Amino acid sequence: MPLKQINKNIIFCIVTGLLAAFSFPKISLFFLMWAAFVPLISVIVRSSAPVSFFYAFFAGFVFNLQANFWLVDTVHLFAETYETSIIFCLCFNSYFAFYWGAWGFFVSLFKKYSLNNVWVFALLCACAWTLIEYVKANVLTGWPWLSIAYSQYKFLSIVQIVEFTGIYGLSFAIMFINVLLYFGFARRKKRYFAAAAAVFFALLIFGAARYPAFENFGSGPYKFVAAQSNVEQYKKFDNSHINELTAGLEIFADEISKIEHDVVLWSESEIINLIPNDITSYVFADKIAAKAGGMNIIGAPSVDGDGKLYNRVFYFNGKGAYAAAHAKNHLVPFGEYIPFSKSILERMGIYDRNDDSHRGSDTVVFTDKKLYIGALICSENFYPDITRRFILSGAKVFTNHTNDAWFLDSSAPYKHFCANVFRAVESRKDVIIAANTGVSGAVNAAGKIISETKVYERKLLTGTFFQNDYKTFYMLYGDVFAALCVLFIAVFAAAVIYKRCVKKSGVKKN
């Protein structure tokens, strides 16, 4: 391949990676995603499968490097040097770029069997992308943060489809339209542009019709207070600041007691010492709940009878003991536990603790017989299977308790916050968020962000919400759409293999 063409392909990969990354917060140019993959598709169509893997991997690396740049400073909170942090982040981004490369390899491998039929090729690309996103969200506990669907969290008319398909239906639509746009440009055929427009406007019309039905949906309104205490992360690790932190929480509790409310939300790890093992912290948590009044949901670490550490949220009613607790079901790899050899990471200076958290399995619904709350801890809001199990257990509204101080004032708190929009639409439940340093807020069942705070703002956020016991198609049946995409790929691959076998058999007979 001429050097000029190679340079052109590399530029196209960079353009795809940057356009896709700029679709996410903080930049949030979400409309770019609908054409971001056109340059990369043009490269894959002209390249062999191994070469396509390289180019797609490179585009994915550019995308992840820009979108995950915040990791450098976050990992540096644990690592001894920035060099170690950078090495870790390069490995991290390379791993997720591998999924892009696998997609490019697969599409290129089978393109000669589908390029003659644009519609089949578009379906193949979109189904393959859906498959790699599903795998990425589940393998090694999963990391679904940068699913391309999440870039559309402000485009509410488009988002409504996830009530039936989950995020995979929207990712599928984005990739399908990207492929049609490529053929529109490459073959100069208006019908491909028209088809892309038809799919887009069909989603838009469906969403516009569906959206109004879920504003102020259910019984209510009820009143909430979300406490954004804005405690810097280093203070969470240093007990010399405990008096300062407890004094701040008492001030908040006193202020909350003067506000009419039905529930008070405190962030993840709001109480920095163990509950109930540390009796002082346990008594203090109950004290601020009693002072604030009513239903209080407070995050704190906890050790069970076997000495296992859990990340939990507790429901305190201010009557002397917590009424219920939920242990985090999905742990963050390298953040809450180490999935690989600890000795390697210890030598890198990243890991020097023996306090890996353990995974909980409960979906306890917090209730005072008026409210029925599914309390999600931190990144649990990225996993719809957890919200689904909460709903099947009786949850009628969701809360999300998180400590995003790890992310500093980067794009990460906003990327984390946007997942709440999709969980709200998938379940048709209001979601209220309490984040230590932000972003706290409220999202209604239509996916509209009703309120949100700024990062590094100390604030008591107040507002109203509704609750309901409606069960959507997605909450009842799960990832049926993703399964259909896998089925299409399996049938397509089987047809190709069968066709090749028949062809070989005919050659031998001749």
Provide the pLDDT confidence category of residue 262 given band limits of 50, 70 and 90: very high
pTM of the model: 0.94
Residue 262 near residue 371, CB atoms below 8 Å: yes
List the Cα angle 245/243/300 in 5-degree steps.
50
Asked whether 224 and 462 are in contact (CB, 8 A), the reply is yes
* pLDDT band at residue 132 under the 50/70/90 scheme: very high
On the CB side of 288, CA atoms within 13 Å amount to 28
**396-441 confidence digits (pLDDT tens):** 999 999 999 989 899 999 999 999 999 999 999 999 999 999 999 9
pLDDT at 92 over 70: yes
* Mean pLDDT score, 80-104: 93
CA dist 328 and 345 (Å) reads 24
> Does 240 have pLDDT greater than 90?
no
Q: What fold characterizes domain 223-477?
A: Nitrilase/N-carbamoyl-D-aminoacid amidohydrolase (3.60.110)
Write the CB contacts of 428 (distance below 8 Å, at least 6 apart in sequence): 163, 214, 217, 445, 468, 470, 472
Rounded mean pLDDT of 283-295?
Answer: 95
Q: What are phi and psi of 134, to 5 degrees?
A: -65, -45
Per the CB < 8 A criterion, the answer to whether 195 and 183 are in contact is no
Residue with tokens 């346990």: 282
Phi/psi of residue 365, each to 5°? -90, 125
Model confidence pLDDT, tens digit, residues 14-66: 999 999 999 999 999 999 999 999 999 999 999 999 999 999 999 999 999 99
Confidence (pLDDT) at 454? 96
Give the chain's mean pLDDT: 92
pLDDT digits (tens, 9 = 90+) for 447-503: 999 999 999 999 999 999 999 999 999 999 999 999 999 999 999 999 988 888 877
224-251: burial string, b at 16+ Cβ within 10 Å, e else: bbbbbbbbebeebeeeebeeebbebbee
Which segments of 391-491 are extended strands (E)?
A: 397-402, 431-435, 441-443, 449-452, 459-467
CB 163 within 8 A of CB 423: no
Output the 3-class SS for 333-379: ECCCECCCCHHHHHHHCCCCCCCCCCCCCCCCCEECCCCEEEEEEHH
Whether the CB-CB separation of 323 and 371 falls below 8 Å is answered with no
Distance separating alpha carbons of residues 271 and 425, to the nearest angstrom? 31
Cα 124 to chain center, whole Å? Answer: 25
Q: Closest by alpha carbon to 429, among 222, 226, 225?
A: 222
C-alpha dihedral, 90 to 91 to 97 to 101, nearest 10°: 120
- State mean pLDDT over 342-358: 58
Matching residue, tokens 């992308």: 129
